[in-house]
A and B are shown apart, each in its own frame.
Chain A
Amino acid sequence: EVQLVESGGDLVQPGGSLRLSCAASGFTFSGHGMHWVRQFPGKGLEWVSGIHWNSGKIGYADSVKGRFTISRDNAKNSLYLQMNSLRPEDTALYYCAKDIGPRVAGIDYWGQGTLVTVSS
């Protein structure tokens, strides 16, 4: 059974940093692209970042480019999102999501999310 478990969400002050983690199990992690998607309170979904199976290609939403960094450790079956220079508008539930293929072929599984709150 595919499982994606996010952690690291917290309350942080504007300008602060946070590192989210996603522990994956139930599939060959090194064979799949991965994504971070966020959902603002009471609002829709926003794709944040994606990474190919071998970290060979990475993409970011314009809203986080230059502030967030996605990475993965295939030996640890883990995905990460380093979030710097956080703003109140980054407050959201952050989901880790698995891609169907090694690059970008569509999302098939989602975690339950970890909450990031940016506020003074």
Chain B
Amino acid sequence: DIQMTQSPSSLSASLGDRVTITCRASQGISNYLAWFQQKPGKAPKSLIYAASTLQSGVPSRFSGSGSGTDFTLTISSLQPDDFATYYCQQYHTYPLAFGGGTKVEI
């Protein structure tokens, strides 16, 4: 099974900061990688699929990159609404797998 490792598990940042979260797959997954945002008490929200394609309505300050085993989610200028937990997920092969999450705090 493919394992997904996210880093860091948490980070502190300020409004306007550039934030980068990394996700590593235990084997190559091409670009079958998605990113999700979750706020406390809410369902996850889909941000990015195919490693770099923004879901409809997602602000352009979010971007994704990578292929193979190494991927990044970047928030170019952190906004108040962005403080949340972020998860990556591989969907290359069943069973699908999420990373452990990265909590972005003030």
Contacts and interface: CB of A to CB of B under 8 A. Distances in A.
Interface of A: 35, 37, 44-47, 50, 57, 59-62, 95, 100, 104-113
A112 B98 CA distance: 18
- The winner among B1, B55, B95, B101 for most chain A CB atoms within 10 A is B95
Nearest to A33: B91
Interface residues on B, range: 20 to 34
Interface of B: 1, 32, 34, 36, 38, 43-46, 49-50, 55, 87, 89, 91, 94-101
Given A44-B100, A45-B98, A106-B50, 18 more contacts: A37-B44, A37-B98, A44-B87, A44-B101, A45-B44, A45-B89, A47-B96, A60-B95, A104-B91, A104-B96, A105-B49, A106-B91, A107-B89, A108-B55, A110-B44, A110-B45, A110-B46, A111-B43
